[in-house]
Amino acid sequence: MPKKKGNPAHPENDVHRITLYNTVYPEHQHRSRKERLYLHFDFACYYAQVEQLRKRMYGIPLIVGGWRKENGVVKGIVATASYEARAFGVKTGMSALEAYKLCPFICMLQVDYATYTAISKQVHHIMKKYSHQVERYSMDEYFMDLTFMKEKSESEIRAFVRRLQTEIYDTTGLFGAIGVARSKTYAKLSSSLDKPRGISVIITDDDERAYIRPLDLNEVWGVGGKRYEHLRAEGYQTIGDVATKGNIRTFIRLFGANFGRMLFQTITGKDQGRILEENDEYSPKWGVSYGHTFSEGSADVERIKGEFAIGIEMICYRMRAYGIRGNSFSGMFGFNNTDLPWVGFRFVTDGYTNINKYIYKACMARILPAIKKACAEGMEIRNMMIGTHSIDKTSQMNLFFQDEAEHVARYEALDEINNRYGKGTVISANTLHRVEGNTHFLERNA
């Protein structure tokens, strides 16, 4: 992903690239409508695979995302689980305690983004030997333009793909599944057909009818829970339902002219998605956000303020990395007692900015009274979320912050130091106060 010229911040130095989009947006599509061929490579249980490899834990059920407190209580959320753990019913997103109950001898580790990113870049380098257009969609997923093989036979395509798959395994010791199809969406779906290390080549109408159309719509980019329910109410449950009896006018009525048309094309395999390479200009369509759950609930006001300072530091870094600024922010915080409703909030700054100081000040002015009230009443806060609500992609200085230029230079210098010598080399004083417990990834592996 690109960063603005002269800007030392980079998104991957702070958080891994999960996705650039939840479907194929118009700006990510080719203008021409020629036939193309795409490859999608997807590692199986990537974090878990890496940990099994580097710690020689083959065959051991493990999860990445859980840990034990000193008193033995299991905490955390499962980020991924090895196939051995999945055999016991452990799934991504469940609590580590649930995973422990399903498999009492499960091994729990924490996310190590630096290691995963390094291996991810190594795989990206390998794939660039096979095609001049490769997209590292996330740490464990990659797209490749295979249009140059469009006229090759299926056996030739399979042989080419198998060589790629084998080289990745021989180099990294990690395995993944590959899908090849005529649209970016269908390539992604195809790689899921024969996990963990299969190859699926879906390049004819008959292939699509046999393997893609039976899939539920909620397997498709952009079809979340609510959209899935709307589509089911209209009589669409599978991709085949839309492909054979779908009406684009229904999609436009349900989801709007632009998104409805785009979603219909995505589901029917008509999208013309571009391979977004590392030098492609990109910034998040809706901005950036941060969420965190503490090890324990806390009624300590200063520690809660510290957690919000950490969150704001995160989103400001990401905004600087993407070259965007915000002036409207929203979020919420929740309690240890899950019966209590979350407290939502929204605040604005005097102008568009990505400077920690301005956003933290405006945030505290808005939410500090609510935090103090909750803590005074013994309501322990357990989690928080904050994100941008309105963004600006220009670099124009504004009149609202007289010392903005000084702060921009200061944070560029701090970003450069932290990127060179390690995150946390230089930190803000207000981030020193945190809720007790090792809740920030690698600290729990120590």
Question: Which residues are designated catalytic?
Answer: 141
B/e letters for 224-249, b = 16+ CB within 10 Å, e = fewer, are eeebbeebeeeebebbbbbbeebeee
Q: Tell me, what's the pLDDT at 153?
A: 96
Q: What is the DSSP letter of 23?
A: S
Q: Is the pLDDT of residue 23 over 70?
A: no
Q: Specify the pLDDT at position 274.
A: 87
Distance of CA 350 to the CA centre of its chain: 30
Mean pLDDT of the chain: 85
Residue 424 vs residue 211, higher pLDDT = 211
Give the integer Cα–Cα distance in Å for 160 and 138.
Answer: 23
Token pair belonging to 212? 């893609």
CATH numbers and ranges of domains, the chain: 11-15+35-41+116-267 (3.30.70.270), 46-113 (3.40.1170.60), 289-445 (3.30.1490.100)
- Per-residue pLDDT of 394-428, as tens digits, reads 665 555 555 556 666 666 766 666 665 556 655 66
Q: What angle do CA 358, 285, 128 make, to 5 degrees?
A: 115
pLDDT band (50, 70, 90) for residue 446: very low
Contacts of 395 (CB under 8 A, 6+ apart): 4, 323
Q: Are 41 and 178 in contact (CB under 8 A)?
A: yes
Q: How far is CA 308 from CA 14, 362, 412, in A?
A: 16, 12, 21
Distances (CA, A) of 93 to 98, 246, 255, 425: 10, 33, 28, 31
- Return the pLDDT at 305: 94
What local confidence, expressed as pLDDT, does residue 91 receive? 92
Weakest-pLDDT range from 264-273, 312-321, 424-433: 424-433
Token code pair at residue 28 = 């990510």
Higher pLDDT, 417 or 216: 216
Tokens in use for 352? 């568009």
User: Could you tell me if 309 and 290 are in contact, meaning their C-beta atoms sit under 8 angstroms apart?
Assistant: no
pLDDT beyond 50 at 18: no
Q: Report which of residues 419 and 74 the model is more confident about.
A: 74
Query: Which is it for the CA torsion 240, 243, 249, 253, positive or negative?
Result: positive
Partnered with residue 289 across adjacent β-strands are 387
Is-contact 359 386, C-beta < 8 A?
A: no
pTM: 0.72
Q: Judge whether residue 433 has pLDDT over 90.
A: no
Give residue-wise pLDDT tens across range 287-316.
788 888 887 889 999 999 999 999 998 898
C-alpha torsion 325→329→335→338, nearest 10: -110
Amino acid at 264: F
